[in-house]
Every structure is written in structure tokens, then in C-alpha cells.
């Protein structure tokens, strides 16, 4: 007890060993760089004395964000978009894809996608290409869609000259050796087998709905190579296609995060006056067909009971996709259709977990929320330069297919009805948010720049698109929906289709006021 009193006394008096500690933390040892004390009497709203005046970056309107476009003498377009950062994304986009294969073996675009970044006139193998890109921290990719083929590289901006030279060689000087073609046949075969075995039916259904909507023309042609054509596609077939569609006037060299003048210089160096591997013959047989919407049905009966085996297997489901013709992305109605698609929203019954995932969209509130047996209800909007397709994909137990189809047709009919102001504003805000968040990614900006310039020779900037979205009114949505409902439906069905209504009944339901299917009566079940 006495020891405790002694310590307390010394502490209060500041004597002995405690005096050093007191002095160490006293005013005389105050650190000048600590915050607050040095400028005690200056309010935060006033500048600090002795501190240099900061210089901030300034932006004059939207000029700093404009996409610059230059056309070379051979017709090739060069487009660039400035973006801060060490890396850039550069690529060549071509007006080429499965929609142009009407006069060729179906599946050429699929083959070219797999053959991309293989050996060229300058590079002996794919490994050599990858090693060259590795010096600049680069990666490469090729993607084909129904109407566009895209070769892209992301790398350090300092390697722009090397990257453009490599892209020019990959696009115009591929060797397409017998060994590479044979390896591609194996890759395509594997992808087709995987497509038919994967639990997610969406890629296959998308293929089927296009086939039904545009019967044997343009975007309705197979995007994936049919099995019977795998052995038929060879170097000569590929060259005959490339000769017509890989021409400079059908190409755009797009870059994000690069100086426009530098990109143009590289394009003139590597893409002007180059002799392609298939010869310099001019294109003579280009398909300029306009998409013809036909409507119709594509069915694929399949046992879906063993799609996903395991401790918690996916239940057997039947998948239905119903679509109607919308409009091309060049038309003014494209934005109202995009808002309508966002308003429908939807998703899987296990993924609609919040506002960003469609919790307040119509397909969630009216379908997934009310019908527990529905496993999926999602809206999709496919748009091309001359047509478009708005679809609803739904999945349920095979015994409830008829009820599921009727629920979808009712939702289509409701599209042409009254549009609530609150749900419209929410859809517009969500669409704007999705647009702006996606455009923070450099590869997405690159694809947006390339596709827009390829289609229109110019680019609508994000703030222009946001203005168009804000200007959409309830009557615009009702008008485009009513126009869409006057067309014939396209239907794709996969799984056990025993209880699937006939195409005529689905068409009748979409022509009615309430979307109900005609009643059917059977003597025996």
C-alpha cells in the first residue's frame, strides 16, 4: 500500500523518473508537422499562408472526350478515344460474321475466330505472337458475332507501333496452315459438344430463337459451325471468304488510351498498301442482304433430367424463349426499346437479390415473385443494323410448360398497356447507371467506339445517350410495345415439350387483349 502511495505522489509532483516522461511530452517537444496546432487560428475556409496555390486540370466542355475519326486513302477508318492510364486497348473490327455466309459453308466465321493470332507471315507460331505481346504486358483476343469480327490487344501504350503491326499481320497475313486448320476442327468439335452438354441453355436458345425469327437469312444463319461442315472448311474456302469481307473499307482500327495522330501514323505504316495473303483481288461477291423477319418456331426435344448430376443436381426443366421483332440500333426507337427491356428485367430465381439484379423489374415482381415454380424469367434485347429482337426466356418444370407460356404472353400484352411513371424512371436510371459503369472499363469503351464507327462512321458520346434515355416518356414505351405486338412471334423450345402449346395458339394469345392461350379440351390425358 505504501509503495502505491509513493508512486502516486511522485506522479503528481513530477519528480524522479517521471520528470523525464513529463518533459518528453511537454510543449517544448511539440512536433511542428502535426496537424491542427501550427495554424490554430485559421479557419478551414481560408487558404493556408505560405502554401503555393494549387493548379487544377480543366476540361473545356466535352471536347476532351470526343472520339476522333480519320479515313485512310484505302477506305479504312481509324478511330481513337483518349483515356488516362499507362495501358491502351487497340483492335481491328470488321464487318464480317455469320450473317454474311449465305453463299458459303456455314461456320467460316466460327473457324476464323479459333484461327486468330496463329502463325502469320512475320510470326512462326502463336507462341511467338504471345511472347512479343508479353514484352509490352499485352494480352490478345478475337471474338465473332453475327455481324462483327473483332481482333483486340491490350498492352502498354509505349508498344503501340508493335501492337498495330502485329494486328495488321494477324488480320491480313495469316498462314492458315493445314496443321492449324486441323487443330481448329478439333476445337470447334469440342465447343459444339460442350454447347449441347452445358447446364446453361441460354447460348443454344439464343441460336434457336434467331433461327426461328429469321428463317434461313442473315442473322438467322448458324453462328456456330454445323457438325457436317467441320471437315469441309479448308484454306481455300477461308481465302474465298476473306477475299470478299476482309477489305479495308469494311474495317475500323480503334484505339482507347492512345494519341490519335500516333495511331493514324501506325495505320498508314502497316495497313496502307498491304498485300493480303489471299491476293489483291477486289471483293466481287459481297452479300448486302437486309434481314427479313419471318417469325416461326424452333423446337429441340431433349432429355434434361441428367444435365447436371451430383449431390444437388439441377431439376429437370423445360426452357422456352418467345420473341418479337423490335428495331435496329440505328433507329430512334432503339432507346425506348432498351428502356422497355430494362423495365422487364428479370433473372434467375436464385440471383434476383437486389435492385441492381432486377428485384423491382416486372418479370421479378409479376412472375418470379408470384409463381414459385418458375426457375427463370429474363428479358433480352438483340439489336443489329437492320433489325432487332426482344425476347423473354423462361424455365420451369415440364408439367407446367403451358402455364409458363401463358404467363410470358400475358407479360408481352402488358407491355402495350399503361406504364407507371415510377417504374419507368427506375428503368431509365438503371439503364443510365449500367451504361456509365460499363463505360468505365477500357475494353468496353474500345468495343463501343469500334462498333459505332463501323456502323455509322461516328460515335454518340455517353452524355448524348444519357440525354436520349432521360427523354423517353411513357407514351414512347407504349408506342414501341404496341408496334412490336402487331408482328408474328418467334419461339424457341428446349427440353420435354409434351405440353408445349402450338405455335398458332401462342400467336393467338399474343394477338388477344389479355394474353390468354385458347382453351383446349382432351378426352384422355
Q: pLDDT, tens digit, for every residue of 71-126?
A: 999 999 999 998 889 999 999 999 999 999 999 999 999 999 999 999 999 999 99
Q: Which residues of 218-236 are buried (b: 16+ CB within 10 A; e: fewer)?
A: bbbbbbbbeeebbeebebe
Closest CA to 94 of 55, 138, 44, 150: 150
Do the Cβ atoms of 487 and 293 come closer than 8 Å?
yes
Residue 246, Cβ density class (10 Å: 0-12 exposed, 13-18 middle, ≥19 buried): buried
pLDDT over 50 (residue 8): no
Average pLDDT for 407-412 = 97
CA distance 383 to 389: 6
CA distance 443 to 378: 26
Average pLDDT for 496-504 = 96
Do the Cβ atoms of 386 and 217 come closer than 8 Å?
no
H or E segment and range at residue 140: strand 139-144
How many beta carbons lie within 10 A of that of residue 302, not counting itself? 16
pTM here is 0.85
Q: Return the pLDDT at 4.
A: 46
What is the DSSP code string of 272-333?
A: SS---TT-SPPP-----PPP----EEEEEE---TTSS-SSSPPPP-EEEEEEEE---TTSTT
CA distance 194 to 266: 40
Q: Return the pLDDT at 142.
A: 98
CA distance 449 to 444: 9
Percentage of the residues of the chain whose pLDDT score is greater than 90: 77
Q: What is the SS3 assignment for 93?
A: strand
Q: Return the pLDDT at 58.
A: 67
Task: Kindly report the backbone phi and psi dihedral angles of residue 324, in degrees, each rounded to the nearest multiple of 5, phi listed first.
Answer: -135, 155
pLDDT grade for 346, boundaries at 50, 70 and 90: confident
Do the Cβ atoms of 192 and 224 come closer than 8 Å?
yes
Cell reading at 222: 448458324
Angle at 464 between CA 356 and CA 337, to 5 degrees: 55
User: 515: left (phi > 0), else alpha (psi -120 to 50), else beta?
Assistant: left
Inter-helix orientation angle 474-485/421-438, to 10°: 90
Query: If you ran DSSP here, which 8-state letter would residue 519 be given?
Result: P
Domains of the chain, start order: 68-271 (3.30.830.10), 296-511 (3.30.830.10)
Q: Return the pLDDT at 504.
A: 97
* 270-320 pLDDT, tens digit each: 999 999 999 876 777 899 999 999 999 999 999 888 777 677 777 899 999
Q: What is the SS3 assignment for 524?
A: coil
CA distance 318 to 351: 19
Amino acid at each position: 500500500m505504501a509503495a502505491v502511495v509513493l508512486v502516486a505522489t511522485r506522479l503528481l509532483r513530477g519528480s524522479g523518473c517521471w520528470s523525464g516522461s513529463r518533459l518528453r511530452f511537454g510543449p517544448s517537444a511539440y512536433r511542428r508537422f502535426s496537424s491542427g496546432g501550427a495554424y490554430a487560428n485559421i479557419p478551414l475556409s481560408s487558404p493556408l499562408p505560405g502554401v503555393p496555390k494549387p493548379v487544377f486540370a480543366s476540361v473545356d466542355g466535352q471536347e476532351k472526350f470526343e472520339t476522333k475519326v480519320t479515313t485512310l486513302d484505302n477506305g479504312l477508318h481509324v478511330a481513337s478515344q483518349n483515356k488516362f492510364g499507362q495501358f491502351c486497348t487497340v483492335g481491328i473490327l470488321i464487318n464480317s460474321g455469320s450473317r454474311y455466309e449465305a453463299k458459303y459453308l456455314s461456320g467460316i466465321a466460327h473457324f476464323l475466330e479459333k484461327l486468330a493470332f496463329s502463325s502469320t507471315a512475320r510470326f512462326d507460331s502463336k507462341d511467338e505472337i504471345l511472347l512479343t505481346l508479353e514484352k509490352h504486358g499485352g494480352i490478345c483476343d478475337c471474338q465473332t458475332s453475327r455481324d462483327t469480327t473483332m481482333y483486340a490487344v491490350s498492352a502498354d501504350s509505349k508498344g503501340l507501333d508493335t501492337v498495330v503491326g502485329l494486328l495488321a499481320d494477324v488480320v491480313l497475313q495469316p498462314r492458315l496452315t493445314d496443321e492449324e486448320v486441323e487443330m481448329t476442327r478439333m476445337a470447334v468439335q469440342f465447343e459444339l459438344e460442350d454447347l449441347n452438354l452445358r447446364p446453361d441453355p441460354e447460348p443454344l436458345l439464343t441460336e434457336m430463337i434467331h433461327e426461328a425469327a429469321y428463317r434461313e437469312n442473315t442473322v438467322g444463319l448458324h453462328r456456330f459451325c454445323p457438325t457436317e461442315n467441320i471437315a469441309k472448311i479448308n484454306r481455300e474456302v477461308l481465302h474465298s471468304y476473306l477475299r470478299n469481307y476482309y477489305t479495308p473499307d469494311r474495317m475500323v482500327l480503334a484505339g482507347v488510351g492512345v494519341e490519335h495522330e500516333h495511331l493514324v501514323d501506325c495505320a498508314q505504316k502497316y495497313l496502307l498498301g498491304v498485300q493480303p495473303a489471299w491476293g489483291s483481288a477486289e471483293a466481287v461477291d459481297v452479300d448486302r442482304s437486309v434481314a427479313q423477319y419471318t417469325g416461326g418456331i424452333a423446337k429441340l426435344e431433349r432429355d434434361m433430367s441428367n444435365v447436371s448430376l451430383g449431390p444437388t443436381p439441377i431439376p429437370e426443366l423445360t426452357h422456352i424463349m418467345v420473341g418479337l421483332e423490335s428495331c435496329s440500333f440505328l433507329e430512334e426507337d432503339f432507346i425506348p426499346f432498351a428502356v422497355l427491356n430494362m423495365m422487364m428485367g428479370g433473372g434467375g430465381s436464385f440471383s434476383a437479390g437486389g435492385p441492381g439484379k432486377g428485384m423491382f423489374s416486372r418479370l421479378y415482381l409479376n412472375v418470379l415473385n408470384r409463381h414459385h415454380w418458375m426457375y427463370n424469367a429474363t428479358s433480352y434485347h438483340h439489336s443489329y443494323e437492320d433489325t432487332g429482337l426482344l425476347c423473354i426466356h423462361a424455365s420451369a418444370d415440364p408439367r407446367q410448360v403451358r402455364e409458363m407460356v401463358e404467363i410470358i404472353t400475358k407479360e408481352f400484352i402488358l407491355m402495350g398497356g399503361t406504364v407507371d411513371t415510377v417504374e419507368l424512371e427506375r428503368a431509365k436510371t438503371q439503364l443510365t447507371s449500367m451504361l456509365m459503369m460499363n463505360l468505365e472499363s477500357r475494353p468496353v469503351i474500345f468495343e463501343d467506339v469500334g462498333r459505332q464507327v463501323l456502323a455509322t462512321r461516328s460515335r454518340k458520346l455517353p452524355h448524348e445517350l444519357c440525354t436520349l434515355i432521360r427523354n423517353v416518356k411513357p407514351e414512347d414505351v407504349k408506342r414501341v410495345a404496341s408496334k412490336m405486338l402487331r408482328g408474328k412471334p418467334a419461339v424457341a423450345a428446349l427440353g420435354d415439350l409434351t405440353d408445349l402449346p402450338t405455335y398458332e395458339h401462342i400467336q393467338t394469345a399474343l394477338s388477344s387483349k389479355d394474353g390468354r392461350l385458347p382453351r383446349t379440351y382432351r378426352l384422355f390425358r
